[in-house]
Structure 1
Amino acid sequence: MLHFTSANSAAHRPSPRDVARLEELLDDDVWAFSNCRVDAPGRPVAEVDWLFYNVRNGTLMVSEWKGFPQRVALATDTGTPWLLDGGLALPNPIEQVSRQLDAVRAALRGSILPQHFPAFDPLQLRIMQSVYSPQVDQNTTIERIRWGKVYGDLPELAAVIANSASRSPLFLPDAGARLALATALCALFRTTFPPEAETKLRVPPKGGDTDVVRRISAIHRQIAALHAELADLVVTAAGADTRTARPPAAGTAPQAAVKDPPVKVVTAKAAPAAPAKAPSLSEHQRMNAHLTRRFQGVNGSAAAATKALETAWRSALGDTQLHEESGISVSLFGAVGTPLVKQHHGSLPKVLGMPLRKWCVLQAKPPDCTRRTFPASPRTCGCAERRRDRRPGRQRPERRSPTAP
């Protein structure tokens, strides 16, 4: 929260505790003008406790803060006084804040809107109003109030200021206009312009380093002040701990100072840091990498899925990190590959046309061991050695052609 206090030294000041609490609850997008003096043409001078302007949401609120000697028993709308515990009647704060709102609206329409918001319709200017009193609690009876609201909890009021929206928000044309608007509002409401607020609102000019240099100088001055304060604290602490030495008693020889024996410090050589090892992937992660890489760009075609499975399986066969004592796990391949084909084909055996284990065994055979068919004997394997009867004493009968004589 950017706080702009009254420039009048005799004006009432808000409680530092309340100001600190508001600064915790509100960010710098909320400008707070406290104890404003609003002098609108044709209207009596109004003393406003708080005027909040949320630059981010474009909302305005006039808030009257009251402190009563007793708890508020009844809070009513205009035309009826408020009642405290014990029956004491007080002037209605809603009526007071309504008059303040009229003065603020007239002042903004007369000088601020034409200069800083030329495209804004002055008749659409909307300002919220509220009354805050710590003596309002959950037992207070609050009648229906047509304009405004009564708060007894400061965080609740801050939440409304920070989050409320308006049907006609008062937005600035750009961030560079914030400083000029804040200066004009301080002049209108007769409040001071603290240097820290000016630093936060100032936008560095394009291509210029003037503000940067000033900010660096301010930081160096703050650091120097902190060093001076730290030096004073160190001297104070040293003076508190230093004790004056007592003089030796009469007839007593002063004792010689006993020096502590030197302590030999042995420094151990730091062991060389072990080189960091790259994190190894688990078997599931490696198998998933093989399958995912091969399935990139594969559509719902069964042939493309089969080709991707074949390529992935051969790639997994060449991965030595997947080799166990009994070979590569077919179950792991199936567990990782099933989600990739489940959407379009249902299961791996369905897309492969045979059980997964049988398919994996066939794919694992060398290329020269594929099954071939021959006209004479369709059951033989092209790479298998023909069986011969090796029993001694028996010879294979000679085969003769049927046409031989």
Structure 2
Amino acid sequence: MLHFPSANSAAHRPSARDVARLSELLDDDVWAFSNCRVDAAGKPVAEIDWFFYNIRHGTLMVSEWKGFPQRVLSATDTGTQWLLEGGVMVANPIEQVSRQLDAVRAVLRSSILPQHFPAFEPLQLRLMQSVYSPQVDDGTAIERIRWGKVYGRLPELAAVISNSTSPAPLLVPSSEARLKLANALCALFRTSFPADVKAKLHASKKEASIDVVHRISEIHRQIAALHGELAELTLLAAGGDVHPAEPQPRPKAQPAATKPADTKATAKKDSAMTEQQRMQAHLARSFRGVNGSADEAGKALEKAWAAVLDDPLLHGETGISVSLFGSTGSPLVKEKHGSLAKLLGMQLRKWCVLQAKAAGLEPSDVAGKPSNIRVR
């Protein structure tokens, strides 16, 4: 984590313990501005506990940190106070962070976007909001919050900061631009630019002859495309069929090896490889041309699973392996959308069952194979 503390000597400071813990949980792709003071035209001055910017994913978060004298019994959405142990009612921090987020959004649109992201559509700017309180625990009744989320543990909050993606990411185009942006945000939020942080950004500027973030993303896409092509070629070379309805000619049989192999073990191995390769081929074809949005990725998964359901060679004696579908599909969505469950909004097996039912099939469990399903 690159930490930019308040430049005002009279401002509150986060505890050294919290800063150290965040530094352990977050890497240097996350810029953290603490105790910011934001002046937005037409709005009251906002005091921001933490503003996080993940430069790798292009995501932004405004976070309010609260310490209460007692445990939080009930954390509700806007419109009602929070209830502490002992019957004490306190102001709702969700309402506070919402006002702060409005101020931050306004100044980013007016001061940062035109100067540093001129091609970015201001109305597309997305910011997350959160409340962190150590007094929130497993016994706290947390109402469903419309905007943002409440956290009682730093690792949970840090995981969201590190892994969340956005349909409209605010990505920095180059290392030089990062230095300029960091200076601009420090001036905007009235935070300092520590020498060690500046040294890290200067070092990345000297070492980066290419845009590392975009290049890594490009390499991942190229690897995925190559895996898909390889899977299809392997199937064709083995006489398999990517689409059962359109059979491909089988190649001529090869002469038997001089020294016979263990045919039982070889058949078992080839069968397992073919199943994985066929699954990979369906996914690769479905994801070809996907633009990276969550909606497009979800539709690609639906298309791939429909192809699996239509492929009789994937309906083995123990049904269809949902876990194999998941392990093969996860690399295609992990970089931009996290886990399959996060993208789909539910566990993969449940989603697969619902998709099968929607296709008019009758999915059922397979005894001894909890990750498999059988369809009729």
| Shorter-normalised TM range | 0.5 to 0.7
Aligned residues: 222
Any idea what SS the aligned residue of 2:261 has?
Answer: helix
Q: In the alignment, does 2:196 pair up with 1:192? A: no
How far apart, CA to CA, are the structure 2 residues paired with 1:162 and 1:341? Answer: 48
Inter-CA distance 154–340: structure 2 relative to 1 (3 Å threshold):
closer
Give the aligned residue type for 1:54. N
Inter-CA distance 201–90: structure 2 relative to 1 (3 Å threshold):
same
How far apart, CA to CA, are the structure 2 residues paired with 1:340 and 1:79? Answer: 71
Any idea what SS the aligned residue of 1:196 has?
Answer: helix
- Counting only pairs closer than 5 Å after superposition, residues 26-175 of structure 1 correspond to structure 2 as 26-175=26-175
Any idea what SS the aligned residue of 1:129 has?
Answer: strand
2:261 to 329, 339, 359: 339
Any idea what SS the aligned residue of 1:48 has?
Answer: strand
Any idea what SS the aligned residue of 1:74 has?
Answer: strand
Any idea what SS the aligned residue of 1:51 has?
Answer: strand
Q: What residue is the counterpart of 1:179 in the other structure? A: 179
Q: Would you tell me which structure has more helix in proportion to its own residues?
A: 2
Cα distance, 1:339 vs. partner? 2.2
How far apart, CA to CA, are the structure 1 residues paired with 2:115 and 2:262? Answer: 66
Cα distance, 1:177 vs. partner? 1.0
- Counting only pairs closer than 5 Å after superposition, residues 379-394 of structure 1 correspond to structure 2 as none
Give the aligned residue type for 2:119. A
Larger Rg: 1
Give the aligned residue type for 2:206. P
Q: What residue is the counterpart of 1:300 in the other structure? A: 254
Give the aligned residue type for 2:6. S
Cα distance, 1:199 vs. partner? 1.1
Q: What residue is the counterpart of 1:288 in the other structure? A: none
How far apart, CA to CA, are the structure 2 residues paired with 1:204 and 1:338? Answer: 59
Structure with bigger RCO (C-alpha 8 Å, 6+ apart): 2
User: Cα deviations across residues 187-229 of structure 1 (Å, max 9, x unaligned)?
Assistant: 000000011111111112899xxxxxxxxxxxxxxxxxxxxxx
How far apart, CA to CA, are the structure 1 residues paired with 2:15 and 2:149? Answer: 22
Q: What residue is the counterpart of 2:206 in the other structure? A: 204
Residues 175 and 208 of structure 2 are in contact (CA less than 8 Å); yes or no, is this contact kept in structure 1?
A: no
Cα distance, 1:144 vs. partner? 1.3
Give the aligned residue type for 2:60. L
How far apart, CA to CA, are the structure 2 residues paired with 1:134 and 1:198? Answer: 31
Instruction: State the TM-score, normalized to the length of structure 1.
Output: 0.52
- Counting only pairs closer than 5 Å after superposition, residues 277-356 of structure 1 correspond to structure 2 as 300-301=254-255, 337-339=259-261
Give the aligned residue type for 2:153. D
5+ residue gaps, structure 1? 208-298, 310-336, 344-405
Any idea what SS the aligned residue of 1:32 has?
Answer: strand
Cα distance, 1:72 vs. partner? 0.5
Instruction: State the TM-score, normalized to the length of structure 2.
Output: 0.56
Q: What residue is the counterpart of 1:257 in the other structure? A: none
Inter-CA distance 24–338: structure 2 relative to 1 (3 Å threshold):
same
How far apart, CA to CA, are the structure 1 residues paired with 2:98 and 2:25? Answer: 26
Cα distance, 1:301 vs. partner? 4.0
5+ residue gaps, structure 2? 210-252, 266-376
Any idea what SS the aligned residue of 2:48 has?
Answer: strand
How far apart, CA to CA, are the structure 1 residues paired with 2:78 and 2:263? Answer: 74
How far apart, CA to CA, are the structure 2 residues paired with 1:9 and 1:177? Answer: 28
Cα distance, 1:176 vs. partner? 2.3
